[in-house]
Amino acid sequence: MSLISPLKRVARSAIAAAHRASGVLDAPFYRNTRLPQWSPTFVLGAPRSGTTLLYQVLTSAFRFAYFPNVADQFYQCPIRMTRLTLPDQFHFTSTFESRYGREQGRLAPSEGGNVWNRWFPHENREGFNFTPANFLSEGDLGRIRTTIACFEDTFSAPFISKNVKMGVRLPALKALFPDANYCYIQRNPADVALSLLLYRRKSGKSWWSAMPREIEQLKSLSDLEQVVGQVYYLEQNIEEGLSDLPGERVLWVDYRDLCRNPRAFPAQLEEKFPLLRDFRVENSDGIPAAFKISHPRTEGYVSAAELAQLKQLVAARFPDSRIEDV
């Protein structure tokens, strides 16, 4: 019998115990429940739709509070570890490089998945991601709001988050932050679905990233049908969640427009969300004039016949105006 699996289990248990113990470092921040000073901003979209690029542009153009990689690494004490790591007068400047949503650097903005997963349902724990409005307890609501308020204090700026699972957490998120603002990015659904399929086949995973509310309807389908359904239902969940919000709190973004003229988006955000005008970075020349509009390569993982089938599945789900050739 191999000792690798038992040793892995012991190591994981030890690491989990260490994380739980580290929570004492943040305990003083939760003695009193607090509310954020400013309306938080959430970047929404299906995985592989350009959410990371939009996040990089916005955190380069504005002074924002956010969960950096160090907070996600030390997720039971993210406030303390961020304050210990953050230098005075710090402003993040993106490299505009990332790998599956992650940019390198301890202070680079992260999805904060490990932090958010302390309170929201996770596929490996609860088996789902969709979060009803009444899912969070009063204690959880208070701790999340206090966490965001503390990060605002740390950065002296309003909070922003990009996490693709927030799109299916909108019912709870709206109850949590009734005054939040949202940036919702969309990309050619055929590109998004193909990118999800490629990741699954390269990694050997049977599912990857956010689960829509309709996950049970997708489980028995082929992987081609699953990725197209994943994109379709995630966008449906997001748009349903945003439908009852006033227009001045939602900025819709087209991935192609973002790539063609990323320097235009900070001004659009200021116009849509005036509170951010005071946090605009004077010199944001580090944002490139344009980004290449990328299309995933099949790289031998998807046959020509499968690609044709994927296009047919996308055409059956999405309007022609959303679809470009892959």
Quick: pLDDT tens for 146-157. 999 999 999 999
CATH number for the region 17-188+247-291 comes to 3.40.50.300
Residue with tokens 């399929």: 197
CB atoms within 10 A of CB 199: 18
> Is residue 290 over pLDDT 80?
yes
The full set of domain ranges for the chain reads 17-188+247-291
- Residue 7's pLDDT is 54
> Is residue 189 over pLDDT 90?
yes
- Residue 8's pLDDT is 57
Quick: pLDDT tens for 263-284. 999 999 999 999 999 999 987 6
| Nearest to 193, CA basis, from 168, 163, 222, 171 | 222
Residue 164: φ, ψ to 5°? -65, -20
Strand spans (E) along 96-218: 160-162, 181-186
* 13-17, 244-248, 256-260: the lowest-pLDDT one: 13-17
- Decide: 321 and 232 in contact? Cβ < 8 Å: no
- Residue 93's pLDDT is 86
Q: With a threshold of 0.85, does the pTM exceed it? A: yes
The more confidently predicted of residues 182 and 324 is: 182
- Decide: 94 and 59 in contact? Cβ < 8 Å: yes
Which band of pLDDT confidence, cut at 50, 70 and 90, is reported for residue 299? confident
DSSP 40-51: -EEEE--TTSSH
Alpha-carbon distance of 186 to 111, in angstroms, equals 18
| Residues in Cβ contact with 104 at an 8 Å cutoff, skipping those fewer than 6 apart | 69, 95, 97
**3-state SS assignment for residue 94:** coil
